Amino acid sequence: MEPGTVFIVGAGPGDPLLITVRGQRCLSSADVVVHDHLVHPRLLRLAPARAERIDVGAAAPQPLEQDAINLLLAEKAREGKTVVRLKWGDPFVFDSGGKEALFLHEQEVPFEVVPGVTAPVAAPTYAGVPVTYPGAGDVLVFIRGHEDGSYTTPRIDWSAVAAIEGTIVCYAGARQLPNIIDALVAHGRSPKEWSAVVSHGTLPQQRTMHGTLGELQEKLKANPQKDPAVLIAGAVAGLREHLRWFDARPLFGKRVLVTRTREQAGDLVQMLEDLGAEAIEAPSIRVAPPQDEQALEDACASASTYDWIVFATASGVDAFMRHLLAGPRDVRWLKGPRLCAIGLATAERLARYGIKVDLVPVEYQAEPILQSMRAGCDLSGARVLFPRAEGAREALVEELRKAGAEVVEVDAFRTVRQPLPSGPGLDIYKMLLDGEIDVVTFTSPSSVRNFVQALGEDQAADLLRTTIVACIGPVTADAAERLEIEANVVPKDYTMAGLVAAIVEHVAQR
């Protein structure tokens, strides 16, 4: 058997969007992903669902020594598999990527190295500090610290380093940082020189200490850091207040809980993170096929015979279109009936399939919708198809029947309650109890109900009273109110973008 190829890929310094296009392409074709523990979990989703994922980092449940990692890569490749060795930062910058590549070369296993964005460059950039700048020196020095919790400073010629006219960048453990600054100052670096310390660089949790070397010396001794960080010493650090952008965004530092299904949460998560928030995915529901899919298939097959098709949710659109487009049918099957999409988000979902709708009520209020549908045609005797959530009771259906319409309700999907995610540092109940979540978002009545059930009905109202509750529209807000939960944010525009804009406005006012 021909051996597979090992791709040694740099994952970047934290932000999952900083992976290279080449790295993303390698992940998409991986059979095995051998990854560092620090790699962002979202990057692992880029690999196929079938791919084996092996955590070998120092903080992993079962960490491996470097020799064992080398053997693992070669073994998986000899099985003919495409292996991605996903490494934090850049594989060849203060990392063991070189050792792994050399071992694979000696074992005659094909390999390729894909560079990644390195933390000593990315963290300063996200803190508003360019590592070089005209007039700030022509030398850039990278110093490797250690993350093992020791106090030992790197064994280098500190006098030579301190005398350099340029920028010094060092990634080091929390205990090392004060000693490294002490060494620089003791060997001639000016305590009045601008400097910065950046922890959790490129992530929503990023924190930056800024001042002179002497000031940071005192701050770090008075308030010891808990996490590794990047130290930047040089005139370039004085530009931070002019160039900071990442931590100046309107939702920076805010933790926002997203209860939408994982499959549908991507757009909302991205919009929140683009504005600086830390989006915590805690889907309270997942969308599943209805128990009787034949009824939906029959409705799709006869779709062209209806006068109206009414979609109440984006999930209903996806489920209906998935069945409609299966086999020989295409969107032309919908050329006959008029289409009603309740809410802009539902209309936008139909637009993704290239379909324009005839009626878009922004609110789910039966009487106004009925009047708008009547303006388009006589509802007496009209055939109306209503793809809905399994077990849902739609007030509009009763009003349509009273108006003389023949309404066919069909289960397009069902929502299944999800247990709240758990893991190291991810206890949603405790985070709410400790006030560590700033905003909780709900995008449907079912997401509210299932989240409350997951927390416990007796505790949910009390826990959510201490945070901002944001509901996408009045129907969802009403579902929350029935469970004694006050919606602090309800946008006028019932879309994901409208919800995010309303959160930004509410946070700014507070």
The arithmetic mean of pLDDT across residues 26-32, rounded, is 97
Give residue 361's pLDDT.
84
φ/ψ of 477, rounded to 5, equals -65, -40
pLDDT at residue number 152 = 79
CB 341 within 8 A of CB 350: yes
- The reported pLDDT for the residue numbered 122 is 97
Confidence at 54, pLDDT banded by 50, 70, 90: very high
Question: How large a percentage of the chain has pLDDT more than 70?
Answer: 97
Whether the CA torsion 100, 102, 107, 111 is positive or negative: it is positive
- Residue 187, pLDDT score: 96
Q: Region 205-219: what's the mean pLDDT?
A: 95
Considering the chain, what is the average pLDDT of its residues? 91
Range picked from 119-123, 289-293, 378-382, 459-463 for highest mean pLDDT = 119-123
pTM for the whole structure: 0.80
Secondary-structure class of domain 255-284+419-509 per CATH: alpha beta
* Ranges 53-67, 119-133, 405-419, most confident: 119-133
Domain with CATH 3.40.50.10090 in the chain: 255-284+419-509, 288-416
pLDDT range class, residue 426, cuts 50, 70, 90: confident
Q: What is the DSSP letter of 312?
A: -
Instruction: Give the separation between CA 378 and CA 383, rounded to whole angstroms.
Output: 11
Q: 258: exposed, middle or buried (C-beta count within 10 Å: 0-12, 13-18, 19+)?
A: buried
Domain with CATH 3.40.1010.10 in the chain: 6-116
Cβ(249)–Cβ(276) under 8 Å?
Answer: yes
Q: 6-116 is classed in which CATH architecture? A: 3-Layer(aba) Sandwich (3.40)
Q: What is the pLDDT of residue 510?
A: 80
Domain 120-247: give its CATH code. Answer: 3.30.950.10
Topology (CATH) of 288-416: Rossmann fold (3.40.50)
What is the tens place of the pLDDT at every residue in 464-489?
A: 999 999 999 888 999 999 999 999 99
- 26-57: b (≥16 Cβ within 10 Å) or e: bbeebbbbbbbebbbeebbebbeeebeebbbb
Residues of the chain with CATH 3.30.950.10: 120-247
Q: How far apart, in whole angstroms, are the C-alpha atoms of residue 317 and residue 397?
A: 17
Please report the pLDDT score of residue 146 as a whole number: 75
Confidence band, pLDDT 50/70/90 cuts, at residue 389: confident
Amino acid 59: pLDDT: 67
pLDDT one-digit tens code per residue, 295-311: 999 889 899 999 999 99
In terms of DSSP bridges, do strands 255-258 and 439-442 run parallel, antiparallel, or are they unpaired?
parallel
As given in the structure block, the two tokens for residue 49 are 């669902």
pLDDT at 500: 96
pLDDT at 150 over 70: no
Segment 406-427 mean pLDDT: 83
Sheet holding 207-212, edge to edge: 139-144, 166-172, 229-233, 194-199, 207-212
Q: What's the per-residue H, E or C state across 347-384?
A: HHHHHCCCCCCCECCCCCCHHHHHHHHHHHCCCCCCEE
Check residue 74 and give its pLDDT. Answer: 96
Q: Phi, psi (5° rounding) for residue 468?
A: -85, 125
pLDDT digits (tens, 9 = 90+) for 334-388: 888 999 998 888 888 899 999 999 998 866 677 778 888 887 678 888 899 999 8
Distance separating alpha carbons of residues 317 and 141, to the nearest angstrom: 55
